[in-house]
């Protein structure tokens, strides 16, 4: 098991496995905790499978079958198109020729394999994951293949994301909020269920295993390149991936072998759903007020559905606002048209299809180059958070998971609980 101590970002309070041991003014959850690992210098363990080669900086107690890992390479095609000499792409998805073997096509597998490897193998409780699609698909695969009880909560409009190469293990159940709902509604549903003793929340951004799993993208980039990049580009829905990148960056500074600077976080959202972008541009730590009806409509309009989180960890201590502020980073707003053009350019120049969220990130890099926000010789890490799905579906016959039940937003909570309990009888 990896040796680490959990600490509060706000005051340094230490606690065991997310149970507070010291009095902390932010014990109500207004600050993120982070893992302080005993090993300050990362040793890549090539004898361990997939993601677990980075186990020195992962809070795991075992390894699981099937893990892939992020792959970093120096771009030629896209770099040439954009006039960049030091563009590195960290690819998360399915691209066998590059060694990328994430069979769900998304870096959410990094989260799932880290989170699930932290769970006691003998636990009989059911983990609950709320998602807009990609996270659910990743956790479904990991839990199905490793026999881990799982309940997924997603909006019914996102069911097209629930595919897999094989039918899922019966230990994985799926419930949905009715059409017209969004990710926040799925979170609300999951919170109701987690009031039952049999179920526990995966934890989202507050789960150190999720963040440090996502942080392996930076571990891949830095150890491949040989130094910390100058810029980090990624699209964000919750901002958890960017927070994870910031935390991994700080660990590399403490490592001492790869540089002592912070990457500028250059993160982006999909117009018209831009709550974090709007707050950041207003120099506001707090998210701006958003009407629920308008928010749901905006979430329906964006092509990168996975970026539609209404309650992201932006404001809390150690959240995205702090990460952007400390790194001198910035946010971009990208239209659907810009996203699609970027997806086409990436596939043409690099040779593999990418997902809309990754297209948002590519478009933000294009915008930054056009506006001379980055120098042509700057060392840039572009985090492609999902790709190769089109190719995977061409090579494999996928099956879709149907919901075990669908709930309207006005369904009585007791009815929801009774129905879900019966699924695991």
Confidence tier at 15 by pLDDT (50, 70, 90): confident
Strand (E) or helix (H) holding 292: helix 292-301
In a domain, 34, yes or no: no
Which own/partner contact pairs does 144-149 have at CB distance under 8 Å and 24+ positions apart?
A: 144/168, 144/169, 144/171, 144/172, 145/64, 145/65, 145/66, 145/169, 146/64, 146/65, 146/66, 146/116, 147/171, 148/116, 148/119, 149/124, 149/125, 149/424
In a domain, 187, yes or no: no
Instruction: Answer yes or no: are the C-beta atoms of 269 and 367 closer than 8 Å.
Output: no
What's the CATH number where 253 sits?
3.40.50.1100
Is the pLDDT assigned to residue 26 strictly greater than 80? no
In a domain, 198, yes or no: no
- pTM of the full structure: 0.95
Is the pLDDT assigned to residue 337 strictly greater than 80? yes
Mapped onto helix, strand or coil, the DSSP state of residue 390 is helix
In a domain, 272, yes or no: yes
Q: What is the mean pLDDT of residues 203-211?
A: 93
In a domain, 165, yes or no: no
403: left (phi over 0), alpha (psi -120 to 50) or beta: beta
In a domain, 142, yes or no: no
Whole domain around residue 87: which residue ranges? 71-103+209-393
Residue given tokens 């799905």 in the structure block: 389
- Nearest CA among 185, 69, 55 for reference residue 131: 185
Strand (E) or helix (H) holding 152: strand 150-155
- What's the pLDDT score for residue 11? 75
Confidence tier at 19 by pLDDT (50, 70, 90): low
Residue 142: half-sphere exposure toward Cβ, Cα within 13 Å = 32
Q: What is the pLDDT of residues 290-330, one digit of tens each?
A: 999 999 999 999 999 999 999 899 999 999 999 999 999 99
**Residues 200, 235, 297, 278, CA torsion sign:** positive
Q: How many CB atoms lie within 10 A of CB 393?
A: 15
- Rounded percentage of the chain residues whose pLDDT exceeds 70: 96
In a domain, 90, yes or no: yes
Domains in the chain: how many in total? Answer: 1
In a domain, 377, yes or no: yes
Is the pLDDT assigned to residue 28 strictly greater than 80? no
- Nearest CA among 336, 275, 282, 267 for reference residue 309: 275
């Amino acid at each position: 098991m990896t040796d680490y101590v959990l600490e509060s970002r706000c005051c340094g309070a230490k606690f065991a496995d997310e149970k507070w041991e010291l009095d902390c003014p932010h014990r109500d959850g207004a600050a993120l905790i982070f893992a302080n690992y005993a090993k300050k210098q990362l040793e890549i363990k090539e004898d361990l499978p997939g993601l677990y080669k980075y186990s020195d900086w992962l809070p795991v107690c075992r390894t699981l079958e099937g893990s892939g890992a992020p792959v970093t390479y120096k771009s030629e095609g896209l770099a040439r198109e954009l006039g960049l000499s030091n563009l590195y792409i960290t690819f998360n998805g399915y691209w066998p020729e590059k060694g990328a073997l994430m069979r769900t096509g998304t870096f959410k597998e990094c989260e799932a394999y880290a989170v699930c490897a932290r769970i006691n193998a003998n636990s009989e409780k059911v983990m609950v994951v709320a998602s807009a699609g990609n996270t659910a698909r990743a956790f479904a695969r990991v839990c199905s293949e490793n026999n881990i009880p799982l309940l997924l909560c997603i909006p019914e409009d996102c069911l097209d994301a629930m595919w897999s190469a094989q039918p899922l293990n019966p230990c994985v159940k799926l419930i949905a909020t009715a059409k017209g709902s969004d990710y926040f509604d799925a979170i609300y549903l999951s919170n109701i269920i987690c009031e039952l003793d049999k179920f526990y929340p995966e934890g989202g951004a507050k789960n150190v295993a999720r963040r440090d799993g996502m942080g392996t993208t930076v571990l891949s980039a830095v150890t491949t390149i040989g130094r910390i990049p100058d810029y980090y580009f990624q699209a964000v829905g919750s901002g958890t991936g960017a927070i994870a990148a910031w935390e991994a960056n700080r660990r590399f500074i403490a490592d001492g072998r790869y540089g002592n600077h912070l990457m500028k976080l250059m993160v982006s959202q999909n117009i018209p759903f831009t709550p974090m972008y709007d707050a950041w541009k207003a120099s506001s730590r707090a998210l701006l007020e958003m009407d629920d009806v308008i928010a749901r409509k905006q979430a329906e309009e964006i092509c990168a559905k996975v970026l539609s989180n209404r309650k992201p960890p932006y404001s809390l201590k150690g959240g995205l606002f702090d990460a952007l502020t400390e790194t001198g980073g910035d946010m971009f707003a990208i239209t659907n048209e810009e996203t699609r053009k970027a997806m086409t350019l990436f596939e043409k120049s690099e040779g593999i299809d990418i997902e809309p969220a990754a297209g948002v990130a590519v478009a933000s890099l294009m915008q930054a180059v056009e506006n001379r926000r980055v120098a042509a010789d700057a060392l840039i890490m572009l985090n492609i958070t999902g790709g190769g799905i089109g190719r995977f579906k061409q090579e494999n016959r996928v099956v879709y998971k149907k919901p075990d039940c669908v709930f309207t937003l006005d369904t009585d909570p007791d009815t929801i609980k009774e129905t879900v309990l019966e699924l695991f009888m």
